[in-house]
Each structure stands twice: as C-alpha cells, then as structure tokens.
Amino acid sequence: MLYTTLNNGIKMPLLGFGVYKLAEGEACMNAVKCAIEAGYRSIDTAALYENEKSVGQAIRTCGIPREEIFLTTKLGNPDQMNGNIMEAFDASLSKLGLDYVDLYLVHWPCAPYHISSWPIMEKILQSGKARAIGVSNYQPHHLDDIAQTSTVTPALNQIEMHPFFTQQSLRAYCRTHHIAPQSWSPLGGERPVQEQLFAAPAITRLAAKYNKTPAQIILRWNIEHGVITIPKSANSARIAENIDIFDFALTVDEVAAIDALNRDQRVGPDPDTHR
Ligand code: NAD
C-alpha cells in the first residue's frame, strides 16, 4: 500500500474501499471484512449510505488495530442544511460504535450552506473526534468561499473523477491550495459508461501490455496522478483485483494517453445544483 500525507500531517492510504450501495447488515459487513483481509486499510462511508453500523462493526471485529484503519464518513445534505452538524457527527460516531473517525467530509456543498457549515466542521476537528476534516464535490468557487473565513484548509476534496472526466483544472486548484484530491466512481460508475471506458483502446492496450484488467489500469492511473481513490465492489474477486495494482507502473506517456480519454462526462450529479 502507498500512503499520502494530508495537509495536517496525517497519513492516508492512496487506495481505499468505497461502500456506497452496500446494504446495512451482512452484505456490507462481509464486504468490508473481505476488503480488510485483502489488505485495504481505508474505508469510505457516509451517513447517506445508511451502513455506518455495519462498517463500524466490521472495523471493530476484524482483528486489525483501529489505528491501522483509516475511516472516512460524511455529513448528509439534510443535516448540513438544517444546521444539525454537530448532532449528525455524533450520530455517525454512535452508529459506527467508534470514538473517532480519521476524516469527516461535507458530502456536497449545498450552496450557500457550505459557508455556514465549515466553522462547525472546524469545531469537530478541535474536539479531536475527527483527525482531519474535508469536503466532497466542491468546485473552486465553493473552496474560495470558505477560504474567506476559515482557519483550517480542507484536508481533501472527494470528487467524481475517471478517465472520461479527468477534472484536470479542479485537481490543479486543489494541489495549489494543499487540498488532496480523491476520486469517486473511479471506474466510471455503472454501465453503460463503465463498459465504454473498459473498452477504450488506450485502456485495453495497457491491460494487454501489463497483463492487468481495465479496472486495474484505471486505478493505477489514479495512483500515478497521486490521486487517492476508493473503488467499490461487493465481489471478493474484484475486491482483491482492485488492490492488486502495486506491482507495476504506467509511464508518463501512458498516463497522458489515458488523460486524453477525457470528454468532461459526469456520471453523477452536478455539484452546483445537487441537494
Ligand atoms: P466505482 O467506479 O468504484 O464502481 C462502480 C461499479 O464497478 C461497482 O458497482 C462494481 O460493480 C463495479 N466494479 C468494481 N470493481 C470492478 C472490477 N474490478 N471490474 C469490473 N467491475 C468492477 O463507483 P462508485 O461505487 O460509484 O464509487 C466508489 C465509491 O466512491 C463509493 O462506494 C463511495 O464510497 C464513493 N462515492 C462518493 C460520492 C460522493 O458524492 N462523495 C459519490 C459516489 C460514490
């Protein structure tokens, strides 16, 4: 596993396991345990996913010391807009059955609420119950807004990113401001976009060259960019496949060939309108 250092000095694995749409209960718990057994040390959940109980249970019972696992959860939009931010954070901790999270993110900007929510996120950081705070789906203008009054720069911005939506300018903005970019839907989300992505010649050519799958080439492309990524799967073979990307590297030209697949195509909602 490779790690990156966030702007407050804490270390975070470059590859993590996303748990969106893994149903609370056995399905989610087994998938998280399977991921931890396969070597993942970072789990990405959210209040929205309604599976924090199972994620917490898996972490508490997997046999790996808590401090070796990097756990992220997120503030839901309704709680952000109602101003119930501290309460929502405490509710997440209680569902997880843990006394701290490694990273707490604002899930969506929900403008203009991104401005009023950030000072409360800073209080959560001060409480010591979150080792880092950050945001998700923020555009540069959202980040500019909070920078006017913030005392803490978000450690990370979790954004949609895959070879059809490379987010080059948003990533450059994040780097300039010492905010780590993290990709969600790194494999292009669901079909049919994922099928088109996996069949793109720039991807299949490299998959053949390195004897890897299209998913592994795409995840490695994230690593070459230093982008933290969190693929999701409920399937144990794919969970293992997605972490088996640390025994090869792409060249600068190969990374550029994947970059060239960009067509500014979102598979998820637009952060300027999503609530
Ligand atoms: P993804 O790109 O990780 O995966 C999409 C689908 O690809 C999965 O349903 C799975 O069936 C399939 N898949 C996984 N590994 C595969 C493989 N090796 N070969 C073939 N198919 C494979 O998409 P995602 O789940 O949307 O995103 C990943 C994670 O990002 C989520 O679980 C969640 O934690 C996070 N996320 C965050 C936001 C946000 O707004 N912050 C939004 C969406 C997702």
Report pLDDT for 39: 98
Query: Band of the pLDDT at 190, cuts 50, 70, 90?
Result: confident
* Residue 191 predicted with pLDDT over 90: no
In angstroms, the CA 88 to CA 73 distance is 11
Structure-token match 């780097």, residue found: 175
CA 189 to centroid of ligand 1, rounded, Å = 5
Question: What is the average pLDDT score of the chain?
Answer: 97
Geometric angle at alpha carbon 66, from 73 and 70, rounded to 5°: 40
Query: Band of the pLDDT at 159, cuts 50, 70, 90?
Result: very high
Which residues contact residue 119 at a Cβ distance below 8 angstroms, ignoring those fewer than 6 apart?
149, 150
Query: Ligand 1 in contact with 136 (CB < 6 A)?
Result: yes
Report pLDDT for 62: 97
Of ligand 1's listed atoms, the one at least distance from the Cα of 74 is 41
Q: What is the pLDDT of residues 118-158, one digit of tens each?
A: 999 999 999 999 999 999 999 999 999 999 999 999 999 99
In angstroms, the CA 217 to CA 102 distance is 28
Report pLDDT for 223: 98
CB atoms within 10 A of CB 152: 17
Probe ligand 1: pick from 232, 238, 242, 265, max atoms within 8 Å of CB? Answer: 232
One-letter amino acid identity for 214?
P
Name the residue at shortest CA distance from atom 24 of ligand 1. 185
Taking Cα atoms as reference points, which of 86, 75, 5, 1 lies closest to residue 38? 1
Q: Say which of 3, 20, 40, 49 is annotated catalytic.
A: 49
CA 240 to centroid of ligand 1, rounded, Å = 14
Mean pLDDT of 25-38: 97
Q: What is the pLDDT of residues 56-98, one digit of tens each?
A: 999 999 999 999 999 999 999 999 999 999 999 999 999 999 9
Q: What is the pLDDT of residues 219-244, one digit of tens each?
A: 999 999 999 999 999 999 999 999 99
Phi, psi of 127 (to 5 degrees): -70, -15
Query: Band of the pLDDT at 13, cuts 50, 70, 90?
Result: very high
One-letter amino acid identity for 155?
A
Probe ligand 1: pick from 80, 182, 222, 233, max atoms within 8 Å of CB? Answer: 233
Question: How buried is residue 262: exposed, middle or buried, by Cβ count under 10 Å (0-12/13-18/19+)?
Answer: middle
Of ligand 1's listed atoms, the one at least distance from the Cα of 238 is 18
Probe ligand 1: pick from 185, 216, 217, max atoms within 8 Å of CB? Answer: 185
Query: Ligand 1 in contact with 186 (CB < 6 A)?
Result: yes
Name the residue at shortest CA distance from atom 29 of ligand 1. 18
Of ligand 1's listed atoms, the one at least distance from the Cα of 242 is 18
CA 23 to centroid of ligand 1, rounded, Å = 14
* Residue 9 predicted with pLDDT over 90: yes
pTM above 0.85, yes or no: yes
Active-site annotation holds for 210: no
Which residues contact residue 256 at a Cβ distance below 8 angstroms, ignoring those fewer than 6 apart?
none
In angstroms, the CA 69 to CA 45 distance is 13
* Residue 247 predicted with pLDDT over 90: yes
Strand residues in the chain grouped as ranges (E) = 3-5, 11-13, 17-18, 42-44, 70-75, 101-106, 130-136, 156-160, 180-184, 228-229
* Residue 12 predicted with pLDDT over 90: yes
